[in-house]
Amino acid sequence: LGLLYQEYRDKSTRQEIETRRLQDSQTDPEESSPSEETLSEAEPTSTTENKAPPQISLLRNSNSRFNLWQDLPEIRSSGVLSILQPDEIKLQEAMFELVTSEASYYKSLNLLVSHFMENDRLKKILHQSEAHILFSNVLDVMAVSERFLLDLEQRVEENIVISDVCDIVYQHTVNHFSVYITYVSNQTYQERAYKQLLQDKPAFRELISQLELDPKCKGLSFSSFLILPFQRITRLKLLVQNILKKVEEKSDRETTALDAHKELETVVKACNEGVRKMSRTEQMISIQKKLEFKIKSVPIISHSRWLLKQGELQQMNGPKTSRTLRTKKLFREIYLFLFNDLLVICRQIPGDKYQVFDSAPRGLLRVEELEDQGQSLANVFILRLLENADDREASYMLKASSQSEMKRWMISLAPNRRTKFVSFTSRLVDCPQIQCVHPYVAQQPDELSLELADVLNILDKTDDGWIFGERLHDQERGWFPSSMGEEILNPKIRAQNLKECFRVHKSDDSQRRKLGSRNRQ
């Protein structure tokens, strides 16, 4: 396989997008099944060529194709393709992709170590502590990948028809993949150190630029190599999900895939928590320093507290606010800090400080959108504190700068409030869906970062181009620009996506039911 992992992953997700586009344009999803079973094999047609970005080239294969299981000479000559059912061939391809993508990933990790980390000039420029922060435990990660790949390759070589790979995934996730948590938890330090080195050490900056220009790197940046482990552990979970969707129901392979998926999900969650923990702690300390309490002081810093949203809104003045009042002078600025368990209401004062004049537990907040508003009351909503800092009920009429900002505040303040469309967890038969065709990095705490080919249920949308969505593969929610995706219009494809998600998460559902039963007892 000639591709570096970054190229492999990009090509694979682009093909996934094109396959879904093809399915969405057809009335019967089954018609597009040949495209699904030949992942990344087909050259783009004239219709998809206009939509898709230019296809990348492989290092060795001039025809720009992946090596597929069914294209292996041993498979073609064996005659097994005429014996296996189409569903089993799809399953073989899904398992084979997990193996080949691990090989591509190991190739990229090896390049990160040999070309960058072990470069003699770089070793002289970097202090030992700087090198440790920058590369962390990447050698451990590479050793784990090598061991994992050897076991996968051994399984593939046992028989031309792959028996299973999820049992190997399960064993390695349980016994070895904790190295990923260590590496990913260092990500915030790593990013900061990299930016600082680029700024403070011209020799470092120049050398990295030179190393990036080497043909081995295929035009990829140094930072794209540093982020590989986090991308891989997340992608591995999705590859196991893909296998899980294709194995026979109630079979041993389904049980193994469910077990592997559950363990991978645990590692991915631990990775996410590791990344968030440091940045959240620093953020809480920074906020605490800026707050001055006009009311009884509330301790802000807590290990179980983090910021969900902050920002300025306009409050209508007066204890008995009337909706008939129209002048803009009746509004004055207030600033809200919304944490996962607490709302703090402030006014900004000189010196980049905020004076707190009210607060309430997040669970005691209610919001209400005003109907039939005039222009002066556009994007206005009522915030009710059932029990504020004075142990009383309080109401605020607040005006946002746009419709999307109003909706984002309302959903953040009262997360259990019903959205325009119903979520995945409601088991709705049909719901608007969108697939991501452009990656997006969240800019605010209430936004959701998107990867190519992510599929999301649309829970709400605004007229000014924002969507509140729930990603199917992990049920993470957040806002993102509608321009990042394409709506899935075929109801059969939407139903198929939901059905596959229910199946992937059915072990989680049974666990939740057990916990609910215990709680009731």
Q: 70, exposed or middle or buried, with CB in 10 Å at 0-12, 13-18, 19+? A: middle
The overall pTM is greater than 0.85:
no
Can you tell me whether residue 8 is helix, strand or coil?
helix
Query: At the fourth CATH level, which superfamily is domain 66-286?
Result: Dbl homology (DH) domain (1.20.900.10)
Q: Is 503 helix (H, G, I), strand (E, B) or coil?
A: helix
Cα torsion through 366, 371, 374, 376, rounded to 10: 10
Strands lying side by side in the sheet with 477-481: 477-481, 466-471, 455-461, 433-436, 485-488
Q: Give the residues across from 314 on adjacent strands.
A: 333, 399
Domain ranges for the chain, please list them: 66-286, 294-320+328-413, 424-514
d(Cα 163, Cα 69) in Å, to the nearest integer?
Answer: 13
Nearest Cα neighbor of 414 from 341, 469, 365, 359 is 365
Q: Which amino acid makes up residue 172?
A: H
Task: Tell me which residue of 164, 146, 38, 170 sits closest to 95, measured CA to CA.
Answer: 164
State in words which class domain 424-514 has. Answer: mainly beta
Q: What does the pLDDT profile of the chain (521 residues) look like in tens digits?
A: 578 888 888 888 888 889 888 888 876 544 444 333 333 333 333 333 333 322 222 223 333 345 789 988 889 899 999 999 999 999 999 999 999 999 999 999 999 999 999 999 999 999 999 999 999 999 999 999 999 999 999 999 999 999 999 999 999 999 999 999 999 999 989 999 999 999 999 999 999 999 999 999 999 999 999 999 999 999 999 999 999 999 999 999 999 999 999 999 999 999 988 888 878 888 999 999 999 999 988 889 988 899 999 999 999 875 444 555 554 457 889 999 999 999 999 999 999 999 999 999 999 999 998 876 666 678 899 999 999 999 999 999 999 999 999 999 999 999 876 666 655 455 555 789 999 999 999 999 999 999 999 999 999 999 999 999 999 988 899 999 999 999 999 999 999 899 888 888 765 555 444 434 433 33
Amino acid identity of 63? N
State the greatest distance between any 2 C-alpha atoms of the chain, in Å, as a whole number: 84
The alpha carbon of residue 498 and the mean position of all alpha carbons in its chain are separated, in whole angstroms, by: 18
CB contact set of 510 (below 8 Å; sequence gap of 6+): none
Kindly report the CATH class assigned to 294-320+328-413: mainly beta
Q: Say if residues 444 and 468 touch (Cβ distance below 8 Å).
A: no
Q: What is the DSSP letter of 5?
A: H
